[in-house]
Amino acid sequence: MDAKHVFQELEKMGRDGLSASDLIDLKGTGGLTYNDFLILPGYINFPADAVSLETKLTRNITLKTPFVSSPMDTVTESEMAITLALLGGIGILHNNCTADEQAAMVRRVKKFENGFITDPIVLSPTHKIRDVIDIKMRLGFTGIPITEDGKVGGKLVGIVTNRDIGFREDASADLSTIMSTDVVTARNGVTLAEANQILRESKKGKLPIVDENGNLVSLVARSDLLKNRDYPWASKHPNTKQLLVGAAIGTRNADRERLAKLVDAGLDVIVIDSSQGNSSFQIDMIKHIKETYGSKVDILAGNVVTRDQAANLIAAGADGLRIGMGSGSICITQEVMAVGRPQGTGVFQVSQFARKFGIPTIADGGISNVGHVAKALSLGASCVMMGSLLAGTAEAPGEYFFLEGKRLKKYRGMGSLDAMERNDSDNSGSQARYFSESDKVKVAQGVTGAVVDKGSIKQFIPYLITGLQHSLQDMGVPHLHNLPEMVANGDVRFERRSAAAQIEGGVHD
C-alpha cells in the first residue's frame, strides 16, 4: 500500500486506545486506580518548558501549579504552606490543634510576603528593645516602624532594624534611644513598582509609606522584592500580594468560632475536612460560611467519591470539591469501614459532573509519583493534594530520626489512634474528621509510620513541575488548561494495564 494512503487507512481502522469514558467502564471493569491504566503518547510540536501548569484550585482562585499539601499534622504547618505557596502551589494547614494555634500559622504565612503591608507591626518610642526581640522570635523579622502612638496611622518618627538592636545588651532600654530617625519614605499613592525602585536605589530594607502629614499608611519590604525575583510563580492574593493559604476545619459548632479566627487572620480558602463529606453537618457549615462571609473566603468541600455526594455539596455552595476516600497510603477506611471507591474512578466520575457547574476538583490520596499526578489531572482533577509525597521533607513538621541507617520522619494518617489522641476532643480535628469525638472506643481509619528524608521541597517541587511538563508533552498537550477539553474530545487516549503490564512498566528482570 502506498504511504500516501496512510492517513486514510488510519481513519478506516479507527483511533488507537480508549477514550476516558470507555476506560472508566463501571459495568465492564469496575473501579480503577492510577496503576490500572496508562495514557498513550500524542504528537509533540512544542518544548516541555513551554507547558503552562496554571490551573484552578476553586471557582475564584487560580494557581501556577496544581500542587496542594494535605491538612495533616505531619505534613502542613506554616513552613510547608509558605514554601509551597512560593513555588506556585498552596498549603492547607491542619486543624489538629487549638484555633489560636491554627490562626497563628495563618498569620505567619500572610506576614511572610506582602506587596503593600497595610497592617504592619508598629511600636512606639516608649516600647523596649525586648519588644523587638520578642517580635523577631515570634514572627522572624525586624525592621519595625516607630510612630508616636505605636499604631498604623500615627506620625512616623523612626524605624528599628536588626542592626539597631544587634549589640545592645540592655533589653529594657526605650526604642527612642536606638531607633533610626533618618527614614527613607514614599508618599501614599506610590505604585508597587515605584516603591520597589526606591528600595533598590536607597538600599534600605523597609520603605514606610506615609500620607501628606507624615502619618504611617503602609510598608513595603525589600525582602519581598527579592522573593518576587526568586519565586516568580508564587501564589499570591491579587490585591494584597500576600501568599495564599488554606486551612482545615470540621463541622462542629466550635469550628464556627475557629473559622472566625482564621478569616480574621487572613485565610483565603477553607477546607471542610471530613472523610465522608455528604452530610447535613457539612451542608449546614457551607451555608453558614456563605451567609456569614460571602465571597471573602472560598470553600473546598468534601471528601466525596460519587456524583450523588458532589451534587449535595455543589447545591449548598461549595467552590471546589476534594475527591478521595480510603485511597491514601496510610488510610485504611476502605478496609475497616468497607466504604470508599478506587481513586481513578472517583476522580473521573466526580470531576466530569462538577465541571458542568464550573466547580474545580482536587484529587486527594493515592499520589505517590509524578505519573500519578499526570493521571489524576487527565481524569479531570484540577489539582492534586499530596500527603505522603511531601511527608519527610525538610518543611514538614516533626524531627528527623535514624533507624537502621536511614534518616526518617514520622508520618501518620489523621484517622490513626496516634493522631486522634494528640489533643482533647474540643481541639482534635482528627477525631472530628471521622465523626468519632464522642466515641468511647476509637476505631482507627489510618496508621502511623515513617518516611525517608526527601530533602527540601525547594528541590522536590521543581522536580515534580518538570516531570509534569514532560508528561503533558508526551501526551501532546501544550498546556494543562487544554487537558480537559482534549480528554473530552478523545484526543488524549488511554489503555488499561494488566498485572503483567504493570510489572513490565517498572524496574524488572
Query: What are the C-alpha distances in Å from 282 to residues 174, 182, 317, 327?
Result: 51, 55, 11, 21
d(CA 351, CA 359) in angstroms, rounded, equals 8
Apex 137 CA angle, 426 and 270, nearest 5: 40
For residues 343 and 387, the answer to whether their CB atoms sit within 8 Å is no
Give the residues across from 68 on adjacent strands.
Answer: 90, 385
Enter the C-alpha cell of residue 215: 502619618
d(CA 4, CA 13) in angstroms, rounded, equals 16
User: What is the separation of C-alpha 264 from the centre of its chain, rounded to a whole number of angstroms?
Assistant: 19
d(CA 356, CA 359) in angstroms, rounded, equals 8
pLDDT of residue 254: 92
pLDDT of residue 135: 83
Rg, C-alpha atoms of the chain? 25
d(CA 139, CA 211) in angstroms, rounded, equals 27
pLDDT of residue 367: 92
pLDDT of residue 106: 95
Active site residues: 331, 433
For residues 91 and 82, the answer to whether their CB atoms sit within 8 Å is yes
Query: What are the C-alpha distances in Å from 472 to residues 18, 56, 146?
Result: 18, 17, 52
pLDDT of residue 219: 87
77 Cβ neighbours under 8 A, 6+ residues apart: 93, 94, 105, 397
Backbone angles phi and psi of 187, in degrees to 5:
-80, 145
Query: What are the C-alpha distances in Å from 316 to residues 121, 286, 300, 475?
Result: 39, 6, 12, 36
For residues 122 and 151, the answer to whether their CB atoms sit within 8 Å is yes
For residues 502 and 496, the answer to whether their CB atoms sit within 8 Å is no
| Helix ranges, 129-265 (H) | 129-139, 162-165, 192-202, 222-230, 253-265
Going residue by residue through the chain (509 aa), what tens digit of pLDDT does each one get? 788 888 888 888 888 899 999 999 887 777 899 999 999 999 999 999 999 999 999 999 999 999 999 999 889 999 999 999 999 999 999 999 999 999 999 998 998 766 677 778 899 999 988 888 888 777 767 788 999 998 888 999 999 888 877 767 777 888 888 888 888 999 988 887 788 888 888 888 888 999 999 999 888 887 777 777 778 899 999 888 889 999 999 999 999 999 999 999 999 999 999 988 999 999 999 999 999 999 999 999 989 999 999 999 999 999 999 999 876 666 666 666 777 788 999 999 999 999 999 999 999 988 989 999 999 999 999 999 998 899 889 899 887 888 778 788 877 655 544 545 555 545 555 556 445 455 444 444 444 677 888 889 999 999 999 999 999 999 999 999 999 999 999 999 999 998 877 777 776 66
Residues 49-74 have pLDDT tens digits of: 999 999 999 999 999 999 999 999 88
Q: b or e along 343-379 (b: 16 or more beta carbons within 10 Å of the residue's beta carbon)?
A: bbbbbbbbbbbbeeeebbbbbbbbbeebbbbbbbbbb
Q: Would you call 486 helix, strand, or coil by DSSP?
A: helix
Query: What are the C-alpha distances in Å from 69 to residues 82, 258, 288, 293?
Result: 11, 21, 26, 24
The CA-to-CA distance between both ends of the chain, in Å, stands at 39
pLDDT of residue 34: 93
pLDDT of residue 448: 63
> What helix, strand, coil percent values describe the chain, rounded to 5?
40, 20, 40
Apex 313 CA angle, 81 and 358, nearest 5: 75
> What's the whole-model pTM score?
0.77
pLDDT of residue 434: 47
Q: Would you call 418 helix, strand, or coil by DSSP?
A: helix
pLDDT of residue 328: 64
Q: What is the DSSP letter of 34?
A: G
